[in-house]
Each structure stands twice: as C-alpha cells, then as structure tokens.
Structure 1
Amino acid sequence: MKGRTIVLDHIDNREAAALMVDGKLDDFLIDGDAPRLGTIYRARADRPVKGQGGMFLTTPDGPAFLRQVKGLAPGAMLLVQVTGYAEPGKALPVTDRVLFKSRFAIVTPDAPGLNISRSIRDEDERDRLLEIAHEQMGDSKYGLILRSCCAGEDAEEIAEDISAMLAQADQVLADESTEPEVMLEGDGPHVLAWREWTEPADVVTQSGGFEAHGVLDALDTARGISEPLPGGGHFYIQPTRALIAVDVNTGADTSLAAGTKANFACAKLLARALRVRGLGGQITLDLAPMPKKDRRGFESSLRAAFKADPMETTLAGWTPLGHFELQRKRGRIPLSEVLK
C-alpha cells in the first residue's frame, strides 16, 4: 500500500495514533501512565543538588528535576514543563522555559521576537507569514515561531492557531496560585498526530482501524527485539537498565561486503525502529565487520536518517572497540512499558 496513512484508534482503552508509510509502521504514539510530554506545572523548589547545578521540585505528579538553575531558593514557586519521560524511580525531567506549541505556531514567552522556520525559503511566503504574525501578535511581549508546515497554508487557519496559543499562554502565565498544580496537560496522541505529522496523508478514525491497516501486526514485530534487513540479515535491539544495545547480524550472506551492506541498511532503519519502540537514552551499536574506510559513509547515512527524526539524537562516535555510540532524548514512553 503506497502513500501515507494516519490511523487514530485505541489499544486497551489507551488513546493511540499510528503513521503508516507505504504500508509500514513509521511512527507510533500511545498514552501511558506517566505525565504527558509538554505538561506545564506550577512547581515548588524543594532542594538543590550540589555539584550538578540542579534543583529537585515538587509537582502534583511527584518529584521533578530542573537542570542548570541559578538564584532559585527552596520554597520558590515557578512554572516548568515536562520535556521527556523519566525512568522508573527517577524524577521527571523539566525545563523552566515553557512553550505553547500547536500545528502552525509556537508561542515562546521567554524568547521575544517573530521568527519563521528556516526551511521556508521563499521570500514572498516568508513576507506573507510575517504579516500574519504581526497582525495576530500585536504588541504582545511574547515571541512566536511559525513552523515549516505553515508554507502555503490558509492565512485564517494560521491566524486562529496563533490566537489559540496566545490565549493559552495568557491563561497559564496570569495564574498566581501559590500551590503546586497542573496548569496545562500535554497533548494526547490524537492531537500530537495532527500537530506533528503534517505531510499530506489519509486519515482513518474508525474504530478497528489499527487491525484493518496492519498496525497491530507491525506492533507485534516492534514488541520483539529483531528487525529484518534487506538481504536476509537482522539487527537486534535490546534495552538494558544502563543502555540500549543494538547488534547487527549479516545472516546467511557470507560475501566480503556483507558486513558493510548490513551496517548501512541498519543506519537507514534504526531511527524508525527506535521511534516506534519509544526508546531513548544511551545507545551502543555492535556493528558487523566493516573496513575502517567505510566508517565515514556509515556515519553520513546514520546522520541523514536521524536528521529526519523528530527526537533529538547526538551521534557520539566510535569507541576503541569499534562500537558506535549515540545519545537519544527520552521523549517517548517505551512501548514495552505500555503494551505488556
């Protein structure tokens, strides 16, 4: 099945969304028990962490940890936003630079100025969008970013989006309560799908859509550790408490170029495999045998694949043993924790 299809459904009464590209599961979102990404709290500073420049905070959903804070005294109240998912037993990662994000617009209270996505290069289109931004923002002290999907979109829809985010920001920032509370809950999978999967696609909302479009079969594969590679090889993804280990296997191919081919194929598919599984943290690749002269090409292929991925990933480089290491933001709840 060619093309893009967004399927909105539920699994075990949990809201979920799947993006199918050419019949394969390309991305998957599902509600978990942890606070949603983007949730905004009014939190209370609890205790500083000496040597790390951080502060533990009290929120209605448990302890949170704020990095790199200065001049924040215990007992102070502040707004923070959830930036990722915490491992079991650890505090929620948060930031004090809150954003109000929708499909077209991002309102940035701490960063004034009007900005257009750099990926929009047509000067006439940039001028059109700036006019919309100026009209809607008026004399607001907040900043605004218009996202890349604004290109060619209806001016009224963009204006409505900006207005909605401004109203949301005003409501949250004007609250002067003095106790920890949830100020704004993060978006669920269905809204996130609308917000982030902006390329043209068919949208399926009927109940049972996951089964009809092959999502459940794809999830069965994603719940396992093995991913097939072209040519008969596989790579295996095994999360441990310390890191995520990825092992590349050439399978029955015994040619001299088998290792190189398997490694390059893994580089193209790894981002999708991690994304669907909701995995992040430290990642170590145990690659198939490959000449050192091919390492640069492998890195380029890996970098290109992760550039198109929404989750921030740092390519750390090669170890003395010939492994390749990555650091990936924990922005999703692991599939294994939701679907038992």
Structure 2
Amino acid sequence: YPPIETLLRRGQEVIVQVTKEPISTKGPRLTAQVSLPGRFLVYMPHSDHVGVSRKIEDRGERSRLRKLARSILPEDAGGVIVRTVGEELTEATFKKEFERLRATWQAIEAAAAEAEAPARLHEDAKLISGIIRDLFSDKFESLTVDNREVYNEIRAYLDRVAPDLRNRLKFYKDTVPLFDRHGIGDEVQAAFRKKVTLPSGGYIIIEPTEALVSIDVNTGRFTGKREKNPEKTILKTNLDAAREIAKQLRLRDVGGIIVVDFIDMELQENRDRVLHELKSHLGRDRARTKAFEISGLGLVEMTRQRVRPSLFQSLTRLCPTCGGNGRIFTPATVVREIERSLRRAAASGDEKRVVLRVHPEIALRIMEEEPDFLKRMARATGLKLDLRDDPLLRQDEYRLLSGPAETDVTQKYAAA
C-alpha cells in the first residue's frame, strides 16, 4: 500500500465507515472501502468484486450465484458478496435487495454533498434488526420474544424482507420470565466465570489479559483410573476441551490473540487429532478464526476476529477494591505495610498521636497473631497509638488519623 500521506491531505473530506468499535485504549477502525450489509447481499459501491460466502460450500451453487450476480449487476454499479443465507437466492430476491442497498448508498452520497464534516451520514440497523438480518434463517425452528415493542419491530422487518419466516416468530406470554424458562440467565452468569467444567471431569480456566486471552486445560478429578495408559486420559480431556473452547469463544465473543495450553501429549497423532477437533468446531463460528499447530509445549496460538468488545468487557467494569487484579493483600501483608507507615510518621517528627483504623479482619489478625503490636510499635516510634476496627473499609485498606482532630494523614505516609 502507498503511504497514507500520498492519498490524503489535511482538510480533505472523505466518506468512511466504522468497521470496528473502540476497545479499551484503542480507537475505532475506519475504512474508505464502504460495504452495506443486507440480509442476502453485501453491497460494495467502490468495488467491482463479485463473491460468495465461503460457508456456501457446494461448487455448483457458488457458480450459479456468482453468474446470477454478474448478470444482474449494472455496469460500474459496484460489487457484491452473497451472504450465507443467500443460498438458493432467486433473481427477483437478488434484484430487490440490490436495489434497496444501492438506493441506501445513493442517499448517503446525497447526504455527504450537503453535510459539513464531521457528520454521521448513515447508521446501521438497530441491534434487533441487525441480529435478525444476520442470524435468523430457516435453520431456526422459532424465535421467541417477550417484549411487545421488539416483537412488532421484528414482525415488521420480516414482513418486508423475509415473509416466509413470519410464522416462526413467537410472542412469549407466560408469567415465568423467558430467560428462567430456558435457563438462559444461568448460562449468562456462567459466561463470566473463569472456570468451565468439562464432561470428562476436567476443566479449563479462561483468563483475559490486556495483550491476549489465555486458556489453560486441566484434568481435574478425571484421572482415568480404569485406563492403564495416561495418554488416553489426557487425549480425552484435550478433546473435550477443544470442543468447549470453541463454544466459549462464541458465547463470550472473545477476540484477538488467544493462547491455549493443552495438556502435554507424547504422540504426534494425538496432537493432530486435538487440533483437528478444535479447527472443526471453530469452523462453525461466524467470526474468522485461525489456529496454528500445537507446539512442543502443548500450546496452540490462534486468532479470532474482533469487531466489538467481548461480553466480559461490555458488561463488567474494574473492581474498585482490587483494581482488576482479582486479588487483595493478605492480612499479614497489610500489617507490615501499616508498620512501615507508622515508622515513616515517626521519622517525620510531625506526629505525636495516631489512631489506626483497619478492617475487622486486620484487627483480628493483630489481636490473635500479634497482641503486642501496638506496644511494640509505640516503643519503636514514640507515638501514642490507638487501634479501631471499621467494617466500611476494604479488607486491605487502613487509615492513619493524626492528633485530637483525627486528621487523615494516610497518603502522607503510605508507600508511593
């Protein structure tokens, strides 16, 4: 690609499309290669490419769809990609969808001619319409909705785009919440847990980090006591893990770099079998994935397309207690930090009397494990010390209060 400065100049107005939401500290990804998704087609006004989804595997059908697209596309009208649900697409449906998408692009161009940059020219379908457009097809027996407004929105969309699917849309009227009826609430909660158990009794640990997501596979209580060959036990656990990992990546919408630490296997044929199992289940994923060979250490490096923040990032925030570490200091560690803070206070020469406020867990630790702590520190520092417990403090938090007014001087003497 040529340098960006040869293509753009300061103050130039360009129509761009957001292809990836901002995630963490990274901003959104933009492209000037606009693509407008429909139910059956993706229209690309700046391209002449005609393609067919890779998930349509039948060669005859792929060839038919490609010929159909080329015969209907007007000259210099852009390019299209036939989506997976476009299998067995008819000429009438193709024309209708193409004309609608092309009209959308023309409306965008007209808006751009009048708007003053920066300006939003077009917004993609609402969340509900987008999900129905991209996912709902005749492969689903039914779609159940418990919100009348959402139900009417989906109904209107299906009336326009896919009337043959209207009878599969159901409105839920039961007093038992829909999620409770089908156990979905429990599954959502499970998607935030690090540990996922496997049918064999083993388990995997999923740990998101700033750079990548690590997944560790363990046999757990499954030791294969009836198996004399431990390699078979390890293989069974790894196969279970490969299937579950592919499922969890979809459920949690995990993207980016992923490293899986399978249990070490001695036989190359077993490594190949586990990798094949992983790749076959990843093939069901709508997001693009790529898994590399198992290394000598039993590690599999893979990538998964990331368009939006994962479920973990979208629905949770950093814990105010641990700052996202998932751990806090032990009572013994907190007591030692208090000791150092008191010594700093004594060395400053500004303090005479200090009230020490701590969480009840820390107060209990001092009274049971170090009952002479206050006397010892008073002798060592020359300060008058008093200990109080405060259940409103975090377990690894403490306060140093100075003088009769009990002024908070904790930050003055805490470690930098």
Alignment partner, residue 144 of structure 2 = 204
The TM-score normalised by the length of structure 2 is 0.59
Alignment partner, residue 119 of structure 2 = 181
Gaps of at least 5 residues in structure 1 are 1-51, 56-68
The structure with the largest strand share of the pair is: 1
1:77 aligns with 2:38: no
**d(CA) in 1 for partners of 2:105 and 2:186?**
41
| 1:260–1:290 CA contact under 8 A, matched in 2 | yes
1:203 Cα deviation (Å)? 0.8
Residue number among 70, 76, 101 corresponding to 2:37 in the alignment: 101
The TM-score normalised by the length of structure 1 is 0.71
The root-mean-square deviation of aligned C-alpha atoms, in Å, is 2.8
Distance 1:324 1:131, change over 3 A: closer
Range 313-322 or range 277-286, more displaced:
313-322
Secondary structure at the residue paired with 1:171? helix
Alignment partner, residue 167 of structure 1 = 103
| 2:254–2:310 CA contact under 8 A, matched in 1 | yes
Alignment partner, residue 215 of structure 1 = 184
1:258 Cα deviation (Å)? 2.1
Alignment partner, residue 244 of structure 1 = 213
Q: Which has the larger radius of gyration?
A: 2
1:285 Cα deviation (Å)? 0.9
1:220 Cα deviation (Å)? 0.9
Distance 1:319 1:74, change over 3 A: farther
**d(CA) in 2 for partners of 1:124 and 1:274?**
30
1:289 aligns with 2:264: yes
**d(CA) in 1 for partners of 2:25 and 2:19?**
17
**d(CA) in 2 for partners of 1:189 and 1:277?**
17
**d(CA) in 1 for partners of 2:77 and 2:252?**
40
Match runs of 1:261-300 below 5 Å: 261-293=236-268, 294-300=270-276
Alignment partner, residue 5 of structure 1 = none
**What amino acid sits opposite 2:285 in the alignment?**
D
| 1:113–1:144 CA contact under 8 A, matched in 2 | yes
The structure with the largest helix share of the pair is: 2
1:309 Cα deviation (Å)? 0.9
Distance 1:324 1:151, change over 3 A: closer
Alignment partner, residue 148 of structure 1 = 84
**What amino acid sits opposite 1:324 in the alignment?**
V
Residue number among 168, 190, 205 corresponding to 2:128 in the alignment: 190
**d(CA) in 1 for partners of 2:3 and 2:23?**
18
1:91 Cα deviation (Å)? 1.4
Gaps of at least 5 residues in structure 2 are 148-176, 225-229, 317-416
Secondary structure at the residue paired with 1:248? strand
